[in-house]
Amino acid sequence: MLAFELQISTVIILFVISALAGLAAWCFFVWAIKDKQFENTEDVSKRLLELDDATVAESDVSRREKKEEARV
């Protein structure tokens, strides 16, 4: 009988822990919505791509300059 009572209390403890974890996830999601974290996600990706293109262009220019300096 003791083993059965132990199993029930374990199930209750795990249920409470999972309910608290679910509540925490829900609160985090609601905060993200209210803080407008999910708005305007397209511009961020475009800025990243533009930044990447600019970085590649700058590195190409610096490589060319280094090659030219090495020739001289």
What pTM was estimated for this model as a whole? 0.50
Per-residue model confidence (pLDDT) at position 43: 76
Per-residue model confidence (pLDDT) at position 11: 87
pLDDT 10s digits, 1-53: 555 666 778 889 999 999 999 999 999 999 999 998 878 767 777 776 776 65
Per-residue model confidence (pLDDT) at position 6: 67
How far apart CA 39 and CA 44 sit, in angstroms, is 10
38: which residues sit within 8 A by CB, 6+ positions away?
Answer: 32
- Residue 27 near residue 20, CB atoms below 8 Å: no
Q: Is residue 61 scored above 70 in pLDDT?
A: no
Q: What are the structural domain ranges in the chain?
A: 1-38, 40-72
Per-residue model confidence (pLDDT) at position 37: 82
